[in-house]
Amino acid sequence: MLLHLPIAILATLSPVAVSDTVPKFDIVKECRFEGGSTTEIDRCSDDENTALGQLEREWTQVVDVDKRSCTATAMTGGVASYVELLTCLEMARDVKNGDSNPHGALTTEAMRLRAPGVTVGVGHDPITPGQKPGRGSR
């Protein structure tokens, strides 16, 4: 999480222009970059278009600093993703609203899992009661 902090700081200082309209990204380029079968590319396109539609409906309600920061984040790596932009904006909104569980259930269709995912935390040593995170057993 802390590894992303410098990126987040630089993104907020980024000279990305803030507009009254959602930025234009190349969905075909994004989905081809992701790769996979024709079915996966079609699914990617559907997800990107769904996210774009939601962004177009809600864009005017988004704070300029979040637009700037999240647009820069969504464009990292040479390809841009509406799903990434929407995710970033939703997380920023949740933090501002004091959501106690910003990683809770996602409500956007573009962000729902469509296949089994990877288990988070596999390969890490469990923390025993009384042990501080980041320190091994002694």
Q: Residues 15-33: pLDDT tens digits?
A: 444 557 899 999 998 888 8
CA distances from 136 to 8, 124, 127, 133 (A): 30, 11, 9, 8
Contact residues for 102 (Cβ-Cβ < 8 A; gap 6+): 91, 94, 95
Q: Which residue has the tokens 């409500």?
A: 107
Nearest Cα to Cα of residue 30 among 101, 68, 107, 82: 82
Give the number of other Cβ atoms within 10 Å of residue 124's Cβ.
8
* Residue at token pair 């222009």: 17
DSSP notation for 44-70 = HHHHHHHHHHHHHHHGGGS-HHHHHHH
The pLDDT-based confidence of 5 (bands split at 50, 70, 90) is: very low
- Residue 24: the pLDDT is 93
pLDDT tens-digit profile of 47-83?
Answer: 999 999 999 999 999 989 999 999 999 988 888 999 9
Residue type, 40: E
Contacts of 75 (CB under 8 A, 6+ apart): 16, 25
Q: What is the pTM of this model?
A: 0.58
For the record, the structure tokens of 65 come out as 């600093």
